[in-house]
Structure 1
């Protein structure tokens, strides 16, 4: 006997319940105890099969309960009734498959067998570990307050395609972040598919501490946080469209709990939303031992795609060991694909004792051409020089190897020592380039200046192209070697 949602029914809400055994009331009862994430699934008749997934424990009028007496938060928000609900008990694995497929609107019936197959499919081909298209520079929205919507809109207009926020009202405004996103989509600047949006669940957030009775478990906190994030960051103005299609590219756990058991409980709760309403997971403000302990637990079925920490000298010498762990994951677990990314914040503010004073940063900033047109000219020179070398080699082979091969590099600005003259790019942009292009760190950029938004993206692209030219490569390699020595990376 398989557990099924009846045709025309959709998930209304869910609530943690005591431990249950899968199919304990059937003749083919499973002997496997499901200790982590059992849920009570509440379904209701729904003509359009819209689904709500959210946690118990938010303030509700007494009348807003279903026939089992369980509050239904989103139903209250949407002014819908919960009469006639049926209650079923199942496991977190079943919820992950049934609820998210219903939310996605792809199937009206899902069996427990397909849920197990989804959870246990091999890593690498597993949809729980997708290759996320993450920009190398992400716009950070912390501390923007009532300017958040305008700044998010402006950042997208200037070219940012990644946005970072959090369900933490003390430092972020997730609601205004969503407003800026929707405005940019309405104006035709970008589509939702072109954006990478990440938000955070914050343990011990003020909302949970203020009313602990409303959030009795870590799981209930996670579910409430994710529910509000999906609502705040929905890319469509229509509530119906929000319920059907809203999703988050990455949900980051803002920090681990003091004890690893609580961290694991929160992580496994977050796993239940992957891969549909949440595409991937990450964790922030974590040390390497804490991370290794988490991912070593067999109950962790979704590996983090984001490790987000402060990138500065005071944080374990620019967090070198954690960055090396990410690189090892990509080379071994993901067979060379960059599916585990290290994100750095405080990249400028946390390094004010380094980037303004290091000679190699100034030399790089002075050597980079001031305009894209200059870079294009250097690229053309490099292409011509490469063609000349190939021609000389071909002629040398025809003459028995006696040709006069070109072995040097054309002279150019990249070969010159730079002084204190006018810079091609700012010192900040040079530090960003070394961090992103050299150390492979995805940087959070929280500038409030429209000009800096534009310049930071333009300079990064210009450096990336320039360093591949014959003139730029020599200077880049030298500066990068000095940068690696500073931040603790091994030499090439």
Structure 2
């Protein structure tokens, strides 16, 4: 197994590294027929990370690809500067009437078909060789052995077709297994989980990810946290830094370190405001005027969510 790891490391050249993961990733779930237009608007507004999935039940990955191609052909962005993330979703998370693979095929074949469909969706020109910056296992399968089979199949694409792997909707124990098992060659580079009270804002899992240099991607950050948006910490920062309340919450979550956030707004003005706002707060936090307010609000925010 050590030989396989060494070989993989040697093949991971500069040309096969993912683009940097932005602080805000544009989330494309439930955008339906508006997906292509919204992706284009998000890239035009300044987003440089896109999150999607080969799961027609909740995503239109083909239209995400169309929006990306339009932005590239319009000169808004180059493919090399864009972080594209998609997912493999098992049968349990799919609509059985609309799948990117054969329902009755072996797991390995399901992975091959799903990944190939994703690569085709992100083929920017007829001449280019498509690739995916990050491919996330949408959730663990019913058994550890099946999860292992899918992960090992995904490994065969790294680093040339897929730059890195991640996992979503997962407990800490599985992340640790993927990160430490001698039978795993490609370690998880990111974990994407809900950030909300029912999971204790994933305090322990996020601490593990920080320690192991695994990026944590938070979703449901706004919709799952109405009480955080109403908190004194968030409102004080919003008023002091002159940003909207959702932006202040995003900034405090990012202040926990090692985190990116999925932002799925469908409002073009909010797209720009979110991107500009987190930069505004960052500059405010470094200023003489804002350093104390930022430190106080962040410390109180950490206590509020039980951050150790």
Normalising by structure 1, what TM-score?
0.59
2:293 and 2:228 map into 1 onto residues whose CA distance is 19
Residue 483 (structure 1) aligned with residue 301 (structure 2): yes
Partner of 1:195: 82
Q: Distance in 2 between matches of 1:479 and 1:231?
A: 45
Which residue is 2:5 aligned to? 120
Q: CA RMSD in A?
A: 2.2
Q: Secondary structure at the match of 2:217?
A: strand
Deviation at 1:122, TM superposition (A): 7.9
Separation of aligned partners in 1, 2:9 and 2:162:
18
Give the deviation of 1:208 after TM superposition. 6.0
2:152 corresponds in structure 1 to 268
Counterparts of 1:393-432 in structure 2 under 5 Å? Answer: 424-432=242-250
SS at match of 1:438: coil
Residue 291 of structure 1 pairs with residue 165 of structure 2:
no
- Listed as ranges, the matches of 1:306-321 within 5 Å are 306-315=190-199, 317-321=200-204
Tell me by how many angstroms 1:209 deviates: 7.6
Secondary structure of the residue that 1:280 maps to in structure 2? strand
**Shift in alpha-carbon separation, 1:123–1:488, aligned structure 2, 3 A:** farther
Contact 2:172 2:205 in 1 (8 A): yes
Matched, 1:254 2:138: yes
Per the TM alignment, residue 206 of structure 1 is displaced from its structure 2 partner at its CA by 3.2
Displacement after TM superposition at 1:284 (Å): 0.2
- 8 Å CA contact 1:208–1:215 kept in 2: the answer is no
Q: Give the 3-state SS of the residue equivalent to 2:37 in structure 1.
A: helix
**1:158-177 pair list within 5 angstroms:** 158-177=45-64
Partner of 1:206: 94
1:352-407: CA deviation from partner (whole Å, max 9, x where unpaired): 12212x11111111111xxxxxxxxxxxxxxxxxxxxxxxxxxxxxxxxxxxxxxx
Distance 1:471 1:234 in 2: 48
3-state DSSP of counterpart to 2:253: helix
Distance in 1, matches of 2:17 and 2:78, equals: 20
- From the superposition, tell whether residues 258 and 473 of structure 1 become closer, same or farther in structure 2 (CA, over 3 Å): same
Q: Does 1:155 align with 2:29?
A: no
Q: 1:143 aligns with which of 22, 30, 34?
A: 30
2:28, 2:264 within 8 Å by CA — same for their partners in 1? Answer: yes
Q: How many pairs were matched up? A: 304
Given that 2:134 and 2:162 are in contact with CA atoms closer than 8 Å, whether structure 1 keeps it comes out as yes
Greater CA drift, 429-438 or 168-177: 429-438
- Distance in 2 of aligned mates of 1:213 and 1:235: 26
Give 1:154 deviation, angstroms: 0.2
Report whether the alignment pairs 1:352 with 2:211: no
1:232 maps to what in 2?
A: 121
Q: Normalising by structure 2, what TM-score? A: 0.93
Per-residue CA deviations over 1:55-110 (Å, capped at 9, x if unaligned) read xxxxxxxxxxxxxxxxxxxxxxxxxxxxxxxxxxxxxx9xxxxxxxxxxxxxxxxx
Structure 2 residue aligned with 1:322 = 205
> 1:488 offset after TM fit, Å?
1.8
Note the C-alpha offset of 1:297.
2.5
Larger Rg: 1
Q: Distance in 2 between matches of 1:446 and 1:213?
A: 30
Could you tell me whether the CA contact under 8 Å between 2:191 and 2:217 is conserved in 1?
A: yes
Deviations 1:238-275 (A, max 9, x none): 2xx24xx1100000000001211000000000000000
Counterpart CA distance in 2 for 1:187 and 1:210 is 32
Tell me by how many angstroms 1:235 deviates.
Answer: 1.9
- C-alpha separation in 1, matches of 2:296 and 2:10: 39
Q: Report if aligned partners of 1:437, 1:464 keep a CA contact under 8 Å in 2.
A: no
**Unaligned 5+ residue runs, structure 2?**
none
Shift of residue 127, structure 1, vs aligned partner: 2.0
Aligned to 1:217: 106
Name 1:419's counterpart in structure 2: none
Equivalence for 2:276: 458
Query: Which region of structure 1 is more displaced relative to structure 2, 288-297 or 440-449?
Result: 288-297
